[in-house]
Amino acid sequence: MSKMIQTDKLVFEYIRRDEEGNVEGITRAVDEVDLSVEPGQFIAILGHNGSGKSTLAKHFNALLYPTEGEVHVDGMLTEDEEHLWDIRQEAGMIFQNPDNQIIGQVVEEDVGFGPENMGVPTEEIWERVDESLRAVRMDKYRKASPNHLSGGQKQRVSIAGVIAMHPKCIIMDEPTAMLDPNGRREVIRAARGLNQVEGITIILITHYMEEVVDADKVFVMDRGRVVMEGTPRGIFKRVDELKALRLGVPQVTLLAHELRQAGLPIPDPILTRKELIDALKKLRAEGYML
Amino acid sequence: MAILLNHVNYIYDEDTAMANAALIDVSLKIPDGQFIGIIGHTGSGKSTLIQHMNGLIAPSSGQIFFNNEDICDRDYNKKNLRARVGLVFQYPEHQLFETDCFKDVCFGPKNLGLSQKDAELRAYTALKQVGLEDEYFYQSPFDLSGGQKRRVAIAGVLAMNPEVLILDEPTAGLDPKGREEILGLISELHRKTGITIILVSHSMEDVADYVERIIVMNRGRVTFDGEPKEVFSHYKELEEMGLAAPQVTYCMQELREAGFDVDTSVTTLLEAKNEILKAFMKC
């Protein structure tokens, strides 16, 4: 079985120009990235502003092409023009601002736009709209105007629009950056559901460390390179390194880290509140005192 | 008293079939020098509220006073008000437009009628206040990183010498370190200059760490108004409004349920750490 996404020494450079259009220099935004994503995985990509995460992600559905190296999506080379539409259908993309990606006047119309463009027969379009809206729990709003939805609801409609194209993979570029706590929860829950129930590969780019703890694998980027790679447990152990990369860890992980430094023997790392409470209960049962 | 809202109502599209109440009977006192957080889910009325505070929106009914003057008065100098109550919008870097950072920050004070020299002095002070290094002063704002651009945009408002600074989600879209830098800068500014700061945020942890008072908006009404500890003790009601308490507050609740003797009103990491260590030191 081919990998969902595979990059081979991927380099992306863009040319900076001054106001007269003269070349000022070349910026290497992605620098020799080798990365592979298995079908059905939940992947997270972390990195500070300007680390190259979004530029990398845009290669995953052929919005950008490598300067050097290759990208394969489900075995198809992205530079092969004959595969372009297959790739865009298989790998869908969700962006930060829901208002920039909703075009329909009515929710169901927006969700049906993708499959309609693909030439899906009308009857099947409606079936797909139904199932997609159900998958993100927005079926109640199918006749609503997108203007009257909350940020989290709009973002879920955007996701439904992608699902209706029956993708194998969804790439989400900071989908929760503009949302309130509830909206963030809704979107992450929808992403996890699609991954677990429908087996869709998810690639989540985020600045919120809490959203990453359940991922199968985390990639951390800095200056265009992948500088850390591993499970959330492996990554969040390296608190000081993450801080040096302008990142952080979830607040409970940090609390546990500080308690450990103050002398409490708590396992490293702690990723959830439950783990912290359980560890502290165990210490108490053992009669541990400082 | 810097700002006073007296039974303010605001209805969008009043007198049409689309009429929609965005603020309902809002009364607030904002004294000089406070550091305030406003939280609420999307659509709760936060943005409408702050736009009333510098006269961008006039209330459908009720009064708003700034330094004891009614800002809805016909003769009231609104232009002056907008310099004294500075509003930094969401993603303010989208409003940068000049060819270099220094000129961009000069734009506001020049519009106030200041001389070139005074405007430049103001711009210099403001850029220093936001911690922008000298080497970036004459660069195009578009060549800076996201965090730097945002600091330049904030400097543009600071150069107006506001008495009240309102920031709408100043950390949205920034990486964790960038968030920390912007919030550190705002808190430093508050400490050094004593200006009133109103911070609108979706991050409960950020609000808990920095502000002295939290105003919670829900469906156009002020639902809670108090110190962080007091407000976050209503975490169950906050959840029903689509909000939450900081993670550490939940940790303390759960520890208490598990029989630990800890204070559940904790809202910051440092307090949580001290409470837990204390629990392992007694007996």
Residue B108: closest CA among B120, B93, B99: B120
Nearest to B273 among A152, A259, A277 (CB): A259
Residues of B within 8 A of A178 (CB-CB) are 172-173
Is the Cα dihedral B17, B22, B24, B25 positive or negative? Answer: negative
Cross-chain Cβ contact B242/A182 below 8 Å: yes
Q: Which residues lie below 8 Å from residue A149, measured CB to CB, with a gap of 6+?
A: A107, A141, A157
| A96 and chain B in contact, CB less than 8 A | yes
Q: How far is A264 from chain B (nearest CA, A)?
A: 8
What average pLDDT does chain B have? 93
Is the Cα dihedral A277, A278, A282, A283 positive or negative? Answer: negative
Within this chain, do residues A157 and A274 fall inside the same structural domain, yes or no? no
Question: Which of B98, B274, B276, B283 should we substitute to test contact with A (largest number of A Cβ atoms within 10 Å)?
Answer: B276
Question: Which of A48, A173, A180 should we substitute to test contact with B (largest number of B Cβ atoms within 10 Å)?
Answer: A180
Average pLDDT over residues B5-29: 91
User: CA-CA distance, A179 to A175, in Å (whole number)?
Assistant: 8
Cross-chain Cβ contact B277/A290 below 8 Å: yes
Structural element, H or E, at residue A36:
strand A23-37
Within this chain, do residues A181 and A105 fall inside the same structural domain, yes or no? yes
Cross-chain Cβ contact A151/B42 below 8 Å: yes
Residue A243 lies in a domain: no
User: CA-CA distance, A22 to B139, in Å (whole number)?
Assistant: 17
Helices (H), A140-272: 151-163, 181-197, 232-236, 239-244, 251-261
| A261 and chain B in contact, CB less than 8 A | no
User: CA-CA distance, A82 to B64, in Å (whole number)?
Assistant: 63
For residues B158, B161, B164, B165, the Cα torsion angle rounded to the nearest 10 degrees is: 0
Searching chain A, which residue's CA lies closest to the CA of residue B180? A246
Average pLDDT over residues B141-163: 91
- Pick the last residue of a domain from A236, A265, A281: A236
pLDDT of residue A58: 94
| pLDDT (tens digit per residue) in A120-154 | 999 999 999 999 999 888 999 999 998 888 888 89
Residue B19: closest CA among B54, B64, B60, B72: B60
- Pick the last residue of a domain from A214, A236, A258: A236
Cross-chain Cβ contact B175/A48 below 8 Å: yes
Residue B168: closest CA among B8, B45, B10, B34: B45
Within this chain, do residues A261 and A133 fall inside the same structural domain, yes or no? no
Residue A245 lies in a domain: no
| pLDDT (tens digit per residue) in B86-143 | 999 988 999 999 999 999 999 999 999 999 999 999 999 999 999 999 999 999 998 8
Task: Give the CATH number for residue A228.
Answer: 3.40.50.300
pLDDT of residue A92: 94
User: CA-CA distance, B39 to A70, in Å (whole number)?
Assistant: 46
- Residue pair B163/B193 in contact (Cβ under 8 Å)? The answer is no
Cross-chain Cβ contact A289/B178 below 8 Å: no
Number of domains in chain A: 2
Within this chain, do residues A255 and A202 fall inside the same structural domain, yes or no? no
Residue A12 lies in a domain: yes
Residue A163 lies in a domain: yes
Residues of chain A predicted below pLDDT 50:
none
In residues, how long is chain A?
Answer: 290
Within this chain, do residues A149 and A211 fall inside the same structural domain, yes or no? yes
User: CA-CA distance, A191 to A229, in Å (whole number)?
Assistant: 21
CA distances from B10 to A111, A126, B63, B220, B221 (A): 34, 40, 11, 9, 11
Residue A98: closest CA among A38, A162, A39: A162
Residue A242 lies in a domain: no
- Residue pair B155/B129 in contact (Cβ under 8 Å)? The answer is yes
Residues of A within 8 A of B177 (CB-CB) are 48, 243, 246-248
Searching chain A, which residue's CA lies closest to the CA of residue B259? A281
Nearest to A255 among B42, B242, B272 (CB): B272
Within this chain, do residues A151 and A276 fall inside the same structural domain, yes or no? no
Residue A40 lies in a domain: yes
Q: How far is B254 from chain A (nearest CA, A)?
A: 7
| pLDDT (tens digit per residue) in B191-202 | 999 999 999 998
| A63 and chain B in contact, CB less than 8 A | no
**The complex's ipTM?**
0.84
Q: How far is B281 from chain A (nearest CA, A)?
A: 5
| A273 and chain B in contact, CB less than 8 A | yes
pLDDT of residue B13: 83
- With a cut of 70, say whether residue B283 has pLDDT above it: no
Searching chain B, which residue's CA lies closest to the CA of residue A263? B277
Residues of B within 8 A of A236 (CB-CB) are none
User: CA-CA distance, B203 to B38, in Å (whole number)?
Assistant: 10
Within this chain, do residues A288 and A161 fall inside the same structural domain, yes or no? no
- Residue pair B276/A280 in contact (Cβ under 8 Å)? The answer is yes
| A17 and chain B in contact, CB less than 8 A | no
User: CA-CA distance, A102 to B11, in Å (whole number)?
Assistant: 26
- The strand order across the sheet containing A169-173 reads A91-94, A169-173, A201-205, A42-47, A217-222, A225-230
pLDDT of residue A178: 83
Question: Which of A15, A242, A251 should we substitute to test contact with B (largest number of B Cβ atoms within 10 Å)?
Answer: A251
Within this chain, do residues A105 and A15 fall inside the same structural domain, yes or no? yes
Within this chain, do residues A194 and A287 fall inside the same structural domain, yes or no? no
Searching chain A, which residue's CA lies closest to the CA of residue B261? A284
Local confidence band at B209 (pLDDT 50, 70, 90 cut-offs): very high
Between chain A and chain B, the number of residue pairs with CB atoms below 8 A apart is 113
Burial track A222-248 (b if 16+ CB lie within 10 A, e otherwise): bebebebeeebeebbbbbeebeebbbb
Nearest to B175 among A49, A150, A264 (CB): A49
Within this chain, do residues A228 and A258 fall inside the same structural domain, yes or no? no
- Residue A56's domain spans which residues? 5-236
| B250 and chain A in contact, CB less than 8 A | yes
Q: Are strands B164-168 and B20-30 parallel, antiparallel or unpaired?
A: unpaired
Local confidence band at B20 (pLDDT 50, 70, 90 cut-offs): confident
Residue A259 lies in a domain: yes
Residue A210: closest CA among A131, A271, A121: A271
With vertex at residue B278, the alpha carbon angle to CA B276 and CA B283, rounded to the nearest 5 degrees, is 120
Residue B51: closest CA among B38, B35, B41: B38
Residue with the bigger pLDDT between B1 and B274: it is B274
Residue A241 lies in a domain: no
Please report where in the chains the tokens 């990235």 appear, as a residue: A33
Searching chain B, which residue's CA lies closest to the CA of residue A17? B143
Within this chain, do residues A38 and A165 fall inside the same structural domain, yes or no? yes
| B20 and chain A in contact, CB less than 8 A | no
Nearest to A277 among B178, B248, B258 (CB): B258
Structural element, H or E, at residue A201:
strand A201-205
Within this chain, do residues A133 and A232 fall inside the same structural domain, yes or no? yes
Cross-chain Cβ contact A259/B202 below 8 Å: no
